[in-house]
Amino acid sequence: MATEIEPGLFVRGRAAEQPPLRLADYKLVAFDMDSTLINIECIDEIAEVVGRKAEVAAITEAAMRGDGVDYRLSLHRRLALLRDVPLSALEAVYTRHLQLNPGVETFVRACQAAGLKTLLISGGFTYFSERVRARLGLDFARANQLDVVDGRLTGTLVPRPWGEVVDGAEKRRVLLEVAELMGITPAQTIAVGDGANDLPMMAAAGLSIAYHPKPAVREQAMVSIVEGGMDRALKLLGG
């Protein structure tokens, strides 16, 4: 059972039983992107261009809640609805709608100052993740790459050497792979997310932080921030 230590800030498990936690005890932090580092679900905003935002957003919401939805299938379903959308629409989403969530920069900078490596693992798209990575100065990033022909989306993804889709299983695998390459244990990692497809990597990490999460994620995360910015986690991490 979670304990509310401040309005909208909950802890459970190790986070509640073994205070204080310290950033210096960790070496790697992995972030989801959409609705975690940033304020939007990019695929929903792209869909608005073709008048299909409500349809796509409903599929996204079900996948993020974990309502028995296969993430890969749901992503392919949504992508098919975006066929022929011009790249200019993605640029408009980035420039007009995408913002960092409150407290993200403060939290990321604190992690970097404490010596943690930073990793973005997204079921979203490289068009946005690489820009967010550069904006925040993150060390690593993994996301899906949209297939584009003649400046328009084909409604599919570009196959990658590691597989076609970044889903929950891939997020977990990447977190553990980077930890192994760094020579650290999973216990020295932090995972931050909001949706059901973040749960596998959050379960593998030494500390899981849910930012304005879906109910299923809030029920399992060690730290849940349901009000305010991501920097509120620093109250528990010596920041």
Catalytic residue among 34, 44, 167, 231: 34
* Contact assessment for residue 38 and residue 132, using Cβ atoms and an 8 Å cutoff: yes
The continuous run of DSSP H or E covering 176 comes out as helix 168-182
147 is catalytic: no
User: Does residue 32 have an active-site annotation?
Assistant: yes
User: Residues 25, 32, 84, 194: which is the catalytic one?
Assistant: 32
- CA triple 232-207-197, angle to 5 deg: 95
Residue 90 tokens read as: 């993605």
N- to C-terminal Cα separation, the chain: 25
Cα–Cα separations (whole angstroms), residue 74 to 65, 79, 81, 111, 215: 12, 9, 11, 33, 19
Distance CA 184, CA 10 (A): 27
Q: What share of the chain is helix, strand, coil (3-state, %, to 5)?
A: 45, 25, 35
Residues with a catalytic annotation lie at: 32, 34
